[in-house]
Amino acid sequence: MNILNFQSFFSKNKYKSFKRPESNLSNLAIISTYCGETSKKTFKPIHYRKYPSYFFSNNNEILSKANQFGWNSIKLDQFEKTEDRLISSQQAKYVKVVPHLIPELAEYDYLLYLDDKVNVDENRIETFISDLKNKESILSIRFHDFLPNNVLFEFAEGQKQKRNEMQRDQIVKYLMSKLEQGYKFDSQLYWTSAILRDMRHPKIRDLNNRWYEDIQQCGIHCQISFLFIAQEFGNIGVLPEFII
């Protein structure tokens, strides 16, 4: 499904938005997603009480579980549930990478994306936002926790997973094209499991869209493509390694 069709889907599927209580907290929502079979789930929900949380999935069982923990559960009917983990991973990239296209999230100044197996300490979020604002960063993200700063190490590590191995040739072609375009392999690696976005930053939509375009070329190993997006846009803030 292309970007315009996805946006159209959400505009036709309204639901009652969660309104946070009046407080001195930033206007932020926590978002996460999972697509695929229940047997492959990695979702480990906790109940966030300070900020509204939204979970997107094409799996009713997962949505029900998210709802039990206080999340606003949103069905991705446009993505057919499949046992194919490669397809499921690609489906989940939409919410992760281009959340600005979802009208129900448009009211928020900040979005904190978390992989479905990642949690955050709510009491630290305002500190993360303050750092993002002070540095005028487009978004904040964690540095990779153990790999040296060269995309070839990221590629090699990712090949340990079957779904990334299936896209090996596609990834190599993408890497070589980036090298030919003048991008660097030896550059800061990032850990894309937690992303704090300033949704009012003038460059956030362009960054999101460019990253999604690169994912179509590179494949689901989005930490590879983000390295080149970071080089292109710069102004990337840093979250601490431990956010819980």
How do the residues of the chain divide into helix, strand and coil, expressed in percent and rounded to 5? 45, 15, 40
CA 169 to chain centre: 24
d(CA 191, CA 146) in angstroms, rounded, equals 10
Q: What is the mean pLDDT of the chain?
A: 91
d(CA 226, CA 189) in angstroms, rounded, equals 8
Q: In Å, how far are 79, 85, 131, 158, 192 from 229, measured between CA atoms?
A: 26, 25, 21, 18, 12
Q: What is the pLDDT of residues 103-150, one digit of tens each?
A: 889 999 999 999 999 999 999 999 999 999 999 999 999 999 899 999
pLDDT band at residue 11 under the 50/70/90 scheme: very low
Domain over 1-12+26-145+190-218+233-244 is classified CATH 3.90.550: yes
Map residue 82 onto helix, strand or coil: coil
Q: Give the per-residue pLDDT at 10.
A: 46
Q: Give the per-residue pLDDT at 19.
A: 53
What's the predicted TM-score (pTM) here?
0.91
Report the candidate in 140, 139, 116 with the shortest Cα–Cα distance to residue 46.
Answer: 116
Q: What is the pLDDT of residues 156-198, one digit of tens each?
A: 999 999 999 999 999 999 999 999 999 999 999 999 999 999 9
Q: Give the per-residue pLDDT at 103.
A: 85
Q: Give the mean model confidence (pLDDT) for residues 34-59.
A: 92
Report the candidate in 92, 43, 41 with the shortest Cα–Cα distance to residue 67.
Answer: 43
Give me the residue spans of the domains in the chain: 1-12+26-145+190-218+233-244
